[in-house]
Amino acid sequence: MIGLLRLMLVAVPATLWWGGRVLWAARRRSPRLHCLCETLARRWARSLLRSVGARVVLHDAEVIDPDRPQVLVANHVSWFDVLALAGHVPGPFRFVAKKELEGIPVFGPAWQACGHISIDRQDRARAIESLAVARQRLVEERPTVILFPEGTRSITGELRSFKKGAFVLAIQTGVDVVPAAITGTRAIMRKGSWRIRTGRTIHVYFGEPIPVKGYEMEERNELTARARDSVQLLLRSDP
């Protein structure tokens, strides 16, 4: 429980401080809000990683182009996947994640103020609306939109089947899909456990972007399968 205590001693004040700054900027309609969101999100994520002695190593991060929109899809086994990406993905980014995050005090409102997108996994119509919002973000703000297409964390660590939403989004907007594999986070904290192991290294492997030009909506299953195969291959490359 020492790892959890160390995390909470940092997470609570960090969330109140940085989340509060975002909410204050949003309330004032500051023109610097988006810049502030990206800067503070990285500081927040990195502070939490440092609290448990976690180190993040990026592999082939140059495939992320900060100057153009992309859809990044990654495996998901731990909450620390989010921290690793939020703290280290180059350039502007937006997450698409479960709606329940909105209910976390301070964090939830700050999350929404920064333009991240909540998706209701229990309501298909609202999930489609969320993808429409993500499409608008890609067109207008040109960030890297990050999704975990398994839909939830894997208990065993094995890669689960991918849902199609990320790939529908990519085809609709015509932006490349970047596969990514995250390893080492499950060793820190597993789904269903509050135990946190300290002093671990997280590796994030980025694969070659998959161009979606030429894919029709009827071929979304093929694109989904191709992206999943790419993530699986990256996972196997981990020593």
Q: Residue 123 — pLDDT band, cuts 50, 70, 90?
A: low
With a pLDDT cut of 70, the percent of the chain lying above it is 98
Strand order in the sheet with 55-59: 55-59, 201-206, 177-183, 70-74, 144-147, 93-98, 117-119
Model confidence at 126: pLDDT above 80: no
The Cα–Cα gap between 215 and 97 comes to: 25
Model confidence at 6: pLDDT above 80: yes
Question: What integer is the mean pLDDT of 24-39?
Answer: 90
Taking the alpha carbons of 161, 102, 188, 193 in that order, is the dihedral positive or negative? negative
Question: What integer is the mean pLDDT of 160-185?
Answer: 95
Q: Which residue type is seen at 225?
A: A
Do the beta carbons of residue 172 and residue 27 sit within 8 Å?
no
pLDDT per position as a tens digit, 55-80: 999 999 999 999 999 999 999 999 99
Q: Which residue has the higher pLDDT, 97 or 185?
A: 185
Q: Residue 22 — pLDDT band, cuts 50, 70, 90?
A: very high
- The helix/strand/coil state of 58 is strand
Model confidence at 84: pLDDT above 80: yes
pTM of the model: 0.93
Do the beta carbons of residue 86 and residue 107 sit within 8 Å?
no
| DSSP calls for 160-213 | PPPPSHHHHHHHHHTPPEEEEEEESSTTT--TT------S-EEEEEEPPPB--T
Question: What integer is the mean pLDDT of 25-49?
Answer: 93
115's tokens:
């333009």
Round the average pLDDT of the chain to a whole number and report it: 92
Q: Which residue type is seen at 40?
A: L
Pick from 233, 76, 96, 68: which is nearest to 167 by CA?
96
Model confidence at 137: pLDDT above 90: no
